[in-house]
Amino acid sequence: MGDAIDAIPAAVDACLEMELLSSIRKALSKVKPKRIYGVGTGTSYNVCEAIVYTCRKYLNIPAEVYDALDFELDTPSGVDSNSLVISISHSGNTLATSLAVEKAKSLGAFTVSIAAVPGSRLPETTDFGLIDPNPYEGRPRGKTRSYHSSVMLGTLVALATASPELMDEFVGDAKNVAELIRWNLELWKKATRELASQWAGVTSRYMLAGFGAQKPNADEIGLKIVEVIGENAVSYSLEELTHGPGASFRKDLGIFLFQTDPRTLKRCLEVARGIVVSEASLVVITDQVSAGWPEKASIIGLPVLSRPDLFGLFPAAAAAQCLLYYLAIAKGMNPDVNCLDKHPELAGVSVIFFPPGTH
């Protein structure tokens, strides 16, 4: 997992290579959707959540995310020849996702899949099967590097349906983001290693919250806390965190607050001030380090970007992944085996949920 975190900048760079960009442009040049749907499960759902949010901002058309099983069984009424359906499955064999996309294709939608395994079911059945240029990240389930590359690839697919200038603008900004992550990784490692040592003997439950592009990060890191550490985590939108969850802000709770959108800075400050009244531990992952955060909050600083409301997703995710990694180690876990070293009885659960060849 540590190696995968180190590989994040190179993984983003690989998605921006000219040959790959040309293939995406060619495949999507004649696709002019009126609606976009993102389909996936688990990390892939969170990836799609990030993609459709960016689509709405850049393309100004309706874009929605669906769990794969929901999409298959309760297919949205708007799926037709004017739709672009982007599906994500890291293995390329997630059964629910494959069935959902095959349903969308039968309704006339243009279907795109992103997977890491050539020859897997999903890329073989969609109109355009895009293979992640980065290696398959089968272990750990944390999928740190591929979270970033899948968001990048899915967004490039959507933007390829618009003007070349719009996609070129995005690519330029994305290259800058990759470089800034590369420059900041060691700082984040140092800060999160120290924070993890403070939290390790205290926190056993977690809440995560973010607005806009940071909501997918809250969902994703919450999922990874469950998978890698095996402790309970719940993610919320920013305002939802203030409506009820405060009743459980006790000493054993760790709260991640993601903030890179200028529109919600004032509200995030208010939320942080409310949290520190309790005994819960708070970390704020933000590009506004000097905004006046309460002294009791731990701050992880991010670089200031030209489009922080969108591109802030990537450095915030990398910083949070560092904290997750060191927190697992500080708690005596091996982050590469998903709790199986501490709880070997879990080994058979996934086999029951996902028989061979279905995930």
Domain finish residue from 162, 177, 208: 162
Q: Is residue 350 part of a domain?
A: no
Q: Is residue 241 part of a domain?
A: yes
**Could you write out the three-class secondary structure of 27-65?**
HHCCCCCCEEEEEECCHHHHHHHHHHHHHHHHHCCCEEE
Q: Is residue 77 part of a domain?
A: yes
Closest CA to 186 of 6, 3, 4, 1: 6
For 165, the token pair is 């200038």
Digits of tens for pLDDT over the chain (359 positions)? Answer: 999 999 999 999 999 999 999 999 999 999 999 999 999 999 999 999 999 999 999 999 999 999 999 999 999 999 999 999 999 999 999 999 999 999 999 999 999 999 999 999 999 999 999 999 998 887 656 579 999 999 999 999 999 999 999 999 999 999 999 999 999 999 999 999 999 999 999 999 999 999 999 999 999 999 999 999 999 999 999 999 999 999 999 999 999 999 999 999 999 999 999 999 999 999 999 999 999 999 999 999 999 998 999 999 999 999 999 999 999 999 999 888 877 777 777 767 777 777 767 77
Which of helix, strand or coil describes residue 252? coil
Burial 292-320 (b: 16+ CB within 10 A, else e): ebeeebbbbbbbebebbbbbbbbbbbbbb
CATH number at residue 65: 3.40.50.10490
Same domain, 203 and 340: yes
For 348, the token pair is 């058979």
State which amino acid sits at residue 208.
Answer: L
Q: Is residue 353 part of a domain?
A: no
Q: Is residue 45 part of a domain?
A: yes
Beta partners for 112? Answer: 86, 128
Same domain, 147 and 255: no
Same domain, 139 and 273: no
Same domain, 332 and 209: yes
**pLDDT at residue number 347:** 66
Q: Is residue 354 part of a domain?
A: no
**pLDDT at residue number 142:** 56
Same domain, 307 and 208: yes
Domain count, the chain: 2
Burial 224-254 (b: 16+ CB within 10 A, else e): bbbbbbbbebbbbbbeebbeebeeebeeebb
Same domain, 148 and 239: no
Specify the pTM.
0.96
Question: Omega of the bond prior to 140 within 30 degrees of 0, cis?
Answer: yes
**pLDDT at residue number 140:** 56
Element (H, E) at 306: none
Q: Which are the contacts of 151, defined by CB distance < 8 A and separation ≥ 6? A: 47, 50, 51, 216, 313, 314
Same domain, 156 and 240: no
Closest CA to 142 of 341, 320, 278: 320
Same domain, 146 and 211: no
**pLDDT at residue number 137:** 86
Cβ proximity of 315 and 177 under 8 Å: yes
Same domain, 158 and 126: yes
Rounded (5°) CA angle 101-104-108: 135
**pLDDT at residue number 357:** 73
Alpha helices in 200-255 (DSSP H): 214-224
**pLDDT at residue number 139:** 63
Closest CA to 95 of 60, 71, 129, 62: 71
Distance CA 343, CA 359 (A): 22
Alpha helices in the chain (DSSP H): 2-6, 8-15, 18-28, 43-59, 68-73, 95-106, 121-125, 144-159, 164-199, 214-224, 265-275, 308-311, 313-330, 349-353
Q: Is residue 207 part of a domain?
A: yes
Same domain, 197 and 141: no
Q: Which domain holds residue 7?
A: 2-162
Q: Is residue 167 part of a domain?
A: no
Same domain, 119 and 254: no
Same domain, 154 and 201: no
Closest CA to 312 of 351, 290, 284: 284
For residue 258, the Cα-to-chain-centroid distance in whole angstroms is 13
